[in-house]
């Protein structure tokens, strides 16, 4: 077999929707399909407001502007995340303050956040790893106590919940990703979620290149002009036309991914019981969106050997993040190996195995069989 790590999910209506956009002549942003996507998510997630963006990176960039992040500010976040989680705030002049993660779900350790807060701390950026929520009640309590903004990097968390609330809708601001590797995708794309009403009016302006064009389109002003900083954050309606079928089938996708997740879990549970691997964990208060399936191995050498053996057998699996605090940029902020032991262990031992909507049980059986044979030999 030759099993890729990821495949796009398509439902067959994408071409019709794209042709609808092209025939309308409205291929820019915020037209028919963009509005349908935004309204569907707003209603489904019970969000105050959701705007599509060109990427999750741009959604987080908007969060940085709205939170008024400036030179000298500090942002608390995990090191085990994609570079964008830190980079957008560094671009605004902030220093990333990295906190270690939990052993069970790879999320920021909520019990280590408060000790990282200083007089310069402006915001807490939480990353919901693998579609499993951080401990948001405790984090929101800490933020309220210290008057901090909470930004949810829910790139991997679309349609997942924490105590019945959808990820991205709990903090002051949230960000989604619709990159080709995500559960719901249009190749590239994202969304910003505005939960704190004080940010709503400015979000519209920033997203429209710093103009009050949204007010003009609603007939609230007779012309629009430059009123604030901003950028071009709007995706083409063509991308929204590709995304809409995914959003229309969110529950179908999630149910199928749960079946795939559960099949992997039951097939590999034996290896965890033998102490050979650690499987993912989903706390009882969380409903995952089953974004990925990963394994934690004993050490770096074993992780690399397993990846090589899987590749030789036609199974394309990958490790995930290199911890940001150990990267050249991370070290430029004064971090070093040994600062975040759990993060560093996970960075050296985690494997992600193929996981996509159309994967077959035959392919899963082949992956499970190979993992058992490889891990029992090494």
- pLDDT value at residue 50: 98
pLDDT (tens digit per residue) in 230-259: 999 999 999 999 999 999 999 999 999 999
CB count within 10 Å of CB 72 equals 10
Four-residue CA torsion sign, 83, 138, 107, 133: negative
- pLDDT value at residue 250: 97
Distance, CA of 378 to CA of 373 (rounded, Å): 9
pLDDT (tens digit per residue) in 251-287: 999 999 999 999 999 999 999 999 999 999 999 999 9
Burial of residue 260 (number of CB atoms within 10 Å: 0-12, 13-18, 19+): buried
In the predicted model, what is the mean pLDDT of residues 202-218? 92
Distance, CA of 113 to CA of 134 (rounded, Å): 12
- Please give the CATH topology (third level) of the domain spanning 14-248: 3.40.640
Q: How far apart are the first and last CA of the chain?
A: 22
Over 90: is that where the pLDDT of 177 sits? yes
Which helix (H) or strand (E) covers residue 45, if one does?
Answer: helix 32-45
* Both tokens assigned to 195: 């939960």
Over 90: is that where the pLDDT of 1 sits? no
In the predicted model, what is the mean pLDDT of residues 202-213? 94
Distance, CA of 143 to CA of 126 (rounded, Å): 12
Strands 190-194 and 286-287: unpaired
Over 90: is that where the pLDDT of 128 sits? yes
Select from 2.30.42.10, 3.90.1150.10, 3.10.129.10, 3.40.30.10 the CATH code of 250-377: 3.90.1150.10
Distance, CA of 168 to CA of 65 (rounded, Å): 17
Nearest CA to 60 among 162, 177, 148, 146? 177
Distance, CA of 175 to CA of 155 (rounded, Å): 6
Nearest CA to 203 among 86, 92, 60? 60
Distance, CA of 249 to CA of 317 (rounded, Å): 27
CB count within 10 Å of CB 221 equals 13
- pLDDT value at residue 375: 95
Over 90: is that where the pLDDT of 228 sits? yes
In the predicted model, what is the mean pLDDT of residues 180-185? 96
pLDDT bucket at 368, cuts 50 / 70 / 90: very high
Every domain of the chain and the residues it spans: 14-248, 250-377
Which helix (H) or strand (E) covers residue 266, if one does?
Answer: helix 250-273
* Both tokens assigned to 88: 């957008």
- pLDDT value at residue 377: 84
In the predicted model, what is the mean pLDDT of residues 321-330? 97
Over 80: is that where the pLDDT of 119 sits? yes
- pLDDT value at residue 218: 87
pLDDT bucket at 217, cuts 50 / 70 / 90: confident
Q: Tell me if 14-248 shares its fold with 250-377.
A: no
pLDDT (tens digit per residue) in 284-313: 999 999 999 999 999 999 999 999 999 999
* Both tokens assigned to 252: 């179908």
What DSSP assignment string belongs to 344-368?
HHHHHHEEE----TT--HHHHHHHH
Over 80: is that where the pLDDT of 378 sits? no
Distance, CA of 289 to CA of 254 (rounded, Å): 6
Helix (H, G, I), strand (E, B) or coil at 50: strand
- Mean predicted lDDT score pLDDT of the chain: 97
């Amino acid at each position: 077999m030759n099993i890729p790590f990821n495949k796009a999910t398509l439902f067959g209506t994408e071409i019709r929707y794209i042709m609808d956009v092209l025939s309308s002549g409205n291929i820019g942003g915020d037209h028919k399909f963009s509005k349908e996507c935004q309204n569907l998510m707003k209603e489904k997630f019970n969000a105050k407001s959701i705007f599509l963006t060109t990427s999750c990176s741009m959604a987080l960039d908007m969060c940085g502007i709205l939170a008024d992040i400036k030179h000298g500010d500090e942002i608390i976040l995990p090191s085990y995340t994609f570079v964008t989680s830190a980079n957008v705030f560094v671009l605004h002049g902030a220093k990333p303050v990295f906190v270690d993660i939990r052993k069970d779900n790879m999320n920021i350790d909520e019990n280590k956040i408060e000790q990282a807060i200083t007089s310069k701390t402006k915001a807490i950026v939480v990353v919901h790893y693998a579609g499993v929520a951080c401990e948001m009640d405790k984090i929101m309590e800490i933020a309220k106590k210290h008057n901090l903004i909470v930004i949810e990097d829910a790139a991997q968390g679309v349609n997942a919940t924490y105590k019945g609330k959808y990820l991205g809708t709990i903090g002051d601001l949230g960000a989604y990703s619709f990159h080709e590797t995500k559960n719901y995708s249009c190749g590239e794309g994202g969304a910003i979620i505005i939960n704190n009403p004080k940010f709503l009016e400015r979000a519209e302006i920033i997203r429209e290149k710093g103009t009050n064009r949204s007010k003009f389109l609603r007939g609230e002003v007779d012309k629009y002009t430059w009123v604030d900083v901003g950028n071009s954050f709007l995706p083409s309606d063509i991308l929204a036309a590709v995304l809409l079928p995914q959003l229309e089938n969110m529950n179908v996708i999630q149910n199928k991914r749960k079946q795939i997740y559960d099949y992997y879990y039951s097939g590999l549970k034996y290896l965890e019981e033998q102490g050979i691997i650690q499987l993912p964990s989903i706390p009882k208060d969380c409903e995952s969106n089953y974004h990925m399936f990963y394994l934690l191995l004993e050490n770096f050498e074993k992780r690399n050997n397993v990846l090589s053996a899987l590749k030789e057998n036609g199974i394309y699996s990958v490790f995930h993040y290199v911890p940001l605090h150990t990267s050249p940029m991370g070290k430029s902020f004064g971090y070093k190996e040994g600062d975040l032991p759990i993060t560093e262990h996970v960075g050296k031992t985690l494997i992600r195995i193929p996981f996509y909507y159309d994967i077959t049980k035959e392919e899963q059986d082949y992956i499970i069989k190979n993992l058992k044979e490889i891990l029992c030999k090494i």
